[in-house]
Amino acid sequence: MATILVCYGTSEGQTETIAERIGDRLTERGHRAPVRNVAENDLDPTGYDAVVIGSSIHMGSHQSSIEGFVRENREALAGRPTGFFQVSLSSATDDPDRRAEAAGYVEDFEDSTAFHPDRVGLFGGALRYSKYGFLKRLLMKQIAKRATGDTDTSRDYEYTDWDEVEAFAEDFAAFVEGRLGEAPPRTE
Ligand SMILES: Cc1cc2nc3c(=O)[nH]c(=O)nc-3n(C[C@H](O)[C@H](O)[C@H](O)COP(=O)(O)O)c2cc1C
């Protein structure tokens, strides 16, 4: 069993929900996987065998709490298996330009923080028009027009592919088990 920290930065909660699903999957596989909001906890990666970090994108940038966490803990992160997942509208469609944009966000993040995760997941996020205030709703309508075309503000949209999220968790668990020399869980 490995102890795997699953930490995240979020504004509207979608990254938290995805982090929890990853934590559940790791736990089902026999690992200890606490799920923590980086902005609300003083986290030290040295207490864990491996770390998964998740961040949403707002106005082309990752969560500042995640940028700070990664910069402050660069050495500890470099010394253990790490996974990074990003949540955005750019990963919500099959449009190659949008997909390239999402990949570009990760590249820029790696370049600016010198953090190079072993595994990367790019997940579609959500549009929660019902939760946005007036100005945010207007802004998101503009962003959505370009990204997904979903501009009906009378309803919410979720683009997260939960099978992809689970596959990311399984793949990361297998990677950690391999690195720590652990046997994979037995399947009946
Ligand atoms: C104000 C705002 C700005 C956003 N800017 C971008 C953006 O620049 N690129 C993008 O792909 N998605 C953008 N999004 C979409 C978010 O990444 C998406 O809603 C995601 O699910 C948010 O995750 P969170 O709830 O964990 O913060 C934006 C969302 C909001 C509300």
Domains and CATH numbers, the chain: 4-125+160-180 (3.40.50.360), 127-159 (no CATH)
Beta strands at 82-88 and 50-58: parallel, antiparallel or unpaired: parallel
Per-residue pLDDT reduced to its tens digit, 76-119? 999 999 999 999 999 999 999 999 999 999 999 999 999 999 99
pLDDT at position 130 is 94
Name residues of the chain where pLDDT drops below 50. Answer: 188
pLDDT at position 146 is 87
Ligand 1 contact, 126 CB (< 6 A): yes
pLDDT at position 183 is 61
pLDDT at position 185 is 60
Ligand 1 contact, 13 CB (< 6 A): yes
Cα–Cα distance for residue pair 74/79, rounded to 1 Å: 9
pLDDT at position 159 is 98
Query: Which atom of ligand 1 approaches the CA of 12 most closely?
Result: 25
**How many CA within 13 A on the CB side of residue 74?**
12
Q: Which one-letter amino acid corresponds to residue 94?
A: D
